[in-house]
Amino acid sequence: MSKEIGIDLGTANVLIYVDGEGIVLNEPSVVAVDTKTDKVLAVGMEAYRMVGRTPGNIRAVRPLKDGVISDFDMTEEMLSYFMAKLNLKGIMSRPNIMVCAPTNITEIERKAIIEAAEKSGGGKVYLEYEPKVAAVGAGLDIFSPIASMVIDMGGGTSDIAVLSLGDIVASTSIRVAGDKLNADIANYIKHEHGLLIGERTAEKVKMEIGTAIPKDEPKAMEVRGRDNFSGMPQTITINENEAEQAMHDSLKQIVTAAHNVLASIQPELAADIIDRGIILTGGGALLHGTAELLASQLDVPVMIADHPLDNVAKGAGELLSHMTQER
């Protein structure tokens, strides 16, 4: 019997769900390459530890950008490594795979994702849109005639969709998500404090003191980097309200995108969403105050999904099992 596998091929992380086993892999979408020999030195967590710390001949590559493949060969290498690591290929058959993608990808990007999954050891490969599988993974019944709405804030894209009767009724995908918030923090610290920090440090600031709503008594943390003027190592202190200020405009874009989707649907569907609320999933759901910000701006209840990081991979695996059982 071939296994049913759901893959969340994310800009920041790759998650793999195996039917009957749950999430079996969650590693950063990074590949370390020796530029002299083009040899892959490390993949996943091991490669992520090298980001911003590599000597001249080693390059840490993120093969996905904004939720789609930007480096096909590296994506194939990365997926093949993960599949081999998990030993997911059966003796007699290759696993069936469902991979997820943002709602606005092109036909060329669709083919690239499917081809990468096939070359990495997949049998039949299916591609489904992220907000649809995220809704399934979050436990929503998307096949009922009652509308559901999901906001999936990942690393490269925020995907927003209204679903009813098993399909997407209205959706949008914007390239404003976790990576953009990291860049916002790094830019803010550079301009306001004259300190240059790396991608990993910016992400650490976001995870420790990032907030979508200002605080009356903001927490602070020390941030180390390189002084923009002297070039010497330097430590500054930044607080939660500064992190909110840094990310404010990007978060506003996500709110506006969700507002536009809500404004485009039929009144009956809008009424369902007022009753059922919006489900927030993806890594952005873990940013403090995101649900409260969306609820206050959209005037609709917003709930954070259980295990929001796992929803896309889990939903892909469950949806694939549902499809194969129906045949």
**Residue list, annotated binding site for ATP:** 11-13, 155-157, 203-206, 283-286
The C-alpha atoms of residue 314 and residue 24 are separated, in whole angstroms, by 10
- Identify how many contiguous H helices and E strands the chain contains and give both numbers: 10, 18
Cα–Cα separations (whole angstroms), residue 311 to 30, 131, 237, 255: 21, 10, 35, 21
CA dist., res. 304 & res. 288, Å (int): 11
Give the contacts of 178 (CB within 8 A, at least 6 positions apart). 11, 12, 153, 154, 155, 156, 203, 206, 282, 283, 284
Give the dihedral of Cα atoms 243, 245, 250, 255; nearest 10 deg.
110
d(CA 294, CA 158): 13
In sequence order, what are the beta bridge partners of 101? Answer: 129
The CA distance from 42 to 102, in Å, is 27
Question: Token pair of 252, please?
Answer: 């506003």
**Eight-state DSSP code of residue 211:** B
Give 132's contacts (C-beta < 8 A, 6+ positions apart): 142, 161, 163, 167, 168, 315, 319
Q: Which residues are annotated as a binding site?
A: 11-13, 155-157, 203-206, 283-286
Read off φ and ψ for residue 80, nearest 5 degrees. Answer: -60, -40
